[in-house]
């Protein structure tokens, strides 16, 4: 959530937040969590909607079936834009962040309400149940995810870029693929910048995407601007002193 807030501010937006889970974590891993109830979550959301003209919404960690169902119900009832859904499933350190029941509800009930969903390779593989090892696989996966009822899909290829770099033992390329509302593909190619594991890049990208949509940008432009922000942030890590003993944090 801290990465989300920082990103919204960087894009000139005023952020608000509702907490779904209080996590115990640092750069080395996630050590536990206390999940909120549906009633507690809704009690956070309703005052925000009553007070603000909300221009964009994004979701992050939705750990339980109760929470996912409450979020889906909220979007069906509330007068706010369709959300950017970041389907957070596993932490950078490998901690599972969503239960099986919650995953099923997210897939069946929340994704069809999304403006765009932003899975990385492992998240996409869980959503569509086949392995992704190439850009052609990424396009096929994006189409399969869109068939779940999502309007648009941004499939992030950083994990594939890391695999390619390791195999080539040199410079790699990260390719993200956008499948938009009209069924058109757009590729976003960037140098793969190897700074080790990075914590918060997915949250930052989806928050930047929501911020750009809030400012009235078209979808492709929003993706391009948010990706540039994440790339610039990762590039700065190359010359920045490491904080903590684990993954680098944006």
State residue 250's pLDDT score: 80
Domain count within the chain? 1
- Each residue of 127-155: b (16+ CB within 10 Å) or e? bbeeebeebebbbebbeebbebebbbbbb
Band of pLDDT at residue 163, cut at 50, 70 and 90:
low
Question: Furthest-apart CA pair in the chain: how many Å?
Answer: 54
Of 178 and 163, more confident: 178
Mean pLDDT of 139-152: 96
Residue 237 has pLDDT above 60, yes or no: yes
Q: Over 90: is that where the pLDDT of 235 sits?
A: no
Domain interval for residue 60: 2-249
CA distance 118 to 227: 12
Which percentage of the chain shows pLDDT scores above 90? 68
From the list 225, 240, 229, the residue with the least C-alpha distance to 195 is 240
Average pLDDT score, the chain: 90
Specify the pLDDT at position 159: 62
Assign residue 237 the CATH number of its domain.
Answer: 3.40.1190.20
86-136 tens-digit pLDDT: 999 887 666 778 889 999 999 999 999 999 999 999 999 999 989 998 899
Check residue 79 and give its pLDDT.
85
How would residue 234 be classed by pLDDT, with cut points 50, 70 and 90?
Answer: confident
* Comparison of pLDDT for 122 and 166, the residue scoring more: 122
Average pLDDT of span 74-94: 88
> Does residue 46 have a pLDDT over 60?
yes
Model confidence at 161, pLDDT cuts 50, 70, 90, reads: low
Helix (H) or strand (E) run with residue 29 in it:
strand 29-35
């Amino acid at each position: 959530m801290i990465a989300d807030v920082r990103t919204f501010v960087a894009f000139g937006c005023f952020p608000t937040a509702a907490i779904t889970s209080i996590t115990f974590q640092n750069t080395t891993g996630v050590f536990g969590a206390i999940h909120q109830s549906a009633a507690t979550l809704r009690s956070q959301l309703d005052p925000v909607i009553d007070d603000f003209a909300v221009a964009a919404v994004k979701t992050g960690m939705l750990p339980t079936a109760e929470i996912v169902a409450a979020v889906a119900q909220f979007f069906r009832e509330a007068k706010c834009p369709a959300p950017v859904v970041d389907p957070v499933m596993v932490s950078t350190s490998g901690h599972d962040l969503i239960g099986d029941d919650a995953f099923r509800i997210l897939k069946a009930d929340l994704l069809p309400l999304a403006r765009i969903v932003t899975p990385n390779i492992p998240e996409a593989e869980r959503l569509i149940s086949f392995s992704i090892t190439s850009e052609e696989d990424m396009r096929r996966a994006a189409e399969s995810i869109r068939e779940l009822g999502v309007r648009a899909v941004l499939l992030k290829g950083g994990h594939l870029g890391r695999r390619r770099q390791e195999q080539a033992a040199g410079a790699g390329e990260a390719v993200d693929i956008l499948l938009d509302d009209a069924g058109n593909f757009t590729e976003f190619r960037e140098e793969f910048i190897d700074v080790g594991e990075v914590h918060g890049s997915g949250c930052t990208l989806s928050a930047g995407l929501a911020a750009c949509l809030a400012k009235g940008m078209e979808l492709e432009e929003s993706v391009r601007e948010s990706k540039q922000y994440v790339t610039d942030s990762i590039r700065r890590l190359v010359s920045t002193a490491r904080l903590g003993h684990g993954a680098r944090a944006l």
